[in-house]
Amino acid sequence: MPLDRRSGCPINLSLEVFGDRWSLIILRDMIFGGRRHFRELLNHSMEGIASNILADRLRRLLELGMLTKADDPTHKQKAIYSLTEMSIQLVPIMAQLGAWGRVWLPVSEELSIRAELLEQGGPVLWDRFMDELRHEHLGIGAQKPVGETVRAELQAAYEAVVARKTAAVTA
């Protein structure tokens, strides 16, 4: 997946960066799923990414400055991938994409609850989420975010839907 620079149009250039079927999925899992390691991304991938594709995309995202990579001090072979400001600022795009998909595509209820909450929360929630990501990935903002994190809230809402649906089935 080379960068062609077909034109200097912002939409075109954005597509050249993440206009494929995997790059945004990986970033989604890092942003909303909190994944930081290769194996986490590989084994918990809902869509079943192949290891060679994952390796290729991670390398590409590193080159593009959307991610950084560091050694994990707890395990010599583990690498920790971090978001950069560039990828943290994809949150509004993810939110819009989720909102659009929720309306027009056959989404599953439990997987769209996050998109729904993100849409309801609007830019205020997005900003709070982005600040949390900056704290987590860039070490910016000295003290921890107060109260429950946005990601934890979204995750809790997701699990509540799953629990409700399971109860409905077994009832």
Partner DNA sequence: GTCACCGATCCTATCTTGCAACTGGTTTTT
Partner DNA sequence: AAAAACCAGTTGCAAGATAGGATCGGTGAC
Cβ pair 163, 154 in contact under 8 A: no
The pair of three-digit structure tokens given for residue 80, joined into one six-digit string? 């920790």
Check binding of 128 to DNA (CB under 7 A): no
- Rounded to 5 degrees, φ, ψ at 90 are -80, -10
**Binding residue count for a copy of itself, defined by CB under 8 A:** 44
CA distance 38 to 99: 28
Amino acid identity of 84? T
* Contact flag: residue 21 with DNA (CB under 7 A): yes
Considering only residues 10, 48, 106, 147, which one is a binding residue for DNA as defined by CB under 7 A?
A: 48
Cβ closer to a copy of itself: 83 or 90? 90
For position 53 contacting a copy of itself by CB under 8 A, the verdict is no
CB 79 within 8 A of CB 72: yes
**Spatial separation of the C-alpha atoms in residues 10 and 124, rounded to whole Å:** 25
Q: Is 86 in the site for a copy of itself (CB under 8 A)?
A: yes
Is 20 an interacting residue with respect to a copy of itself (CB under 8 A)? yes
Question: Are the C-beta atoms of 130 and 146 separated by less than 8 Å?
Answer: no
According to CB under 8 A, which one of 10, 73, 139, 147 is a site residue for a copy of itself?
Answer: 10
Which one, 49 or 133, has the nearer CB to DNA?
A: 49
For a copy of itself, the closer CB: 16 or 132: 16
> Cα(39)–Cα(77) distance, rounded to whole angstroms?
11
User: Which of 26, 61, 67, 90 lies at the binding interface for a copy of itself (CB under 8 A)?
Assistant: 90
CB 145 within 8 A of CB 131: yes
- For the chain, where are the E strands, in sequence order? 67-71, 79-83
Residues lying near DNA in the complex (CB under 7 A): 1-2, 20-22, 37-40, 42-43, 48-53, 55-56, 58-59, 69, 75-79
Residues lying near a copy of itself in the complex (CB under 8 A): 5-17, 19-21, 24-25, 28, 46-48, 86, 89-90, 92-94, 96-108, 111-112, 115
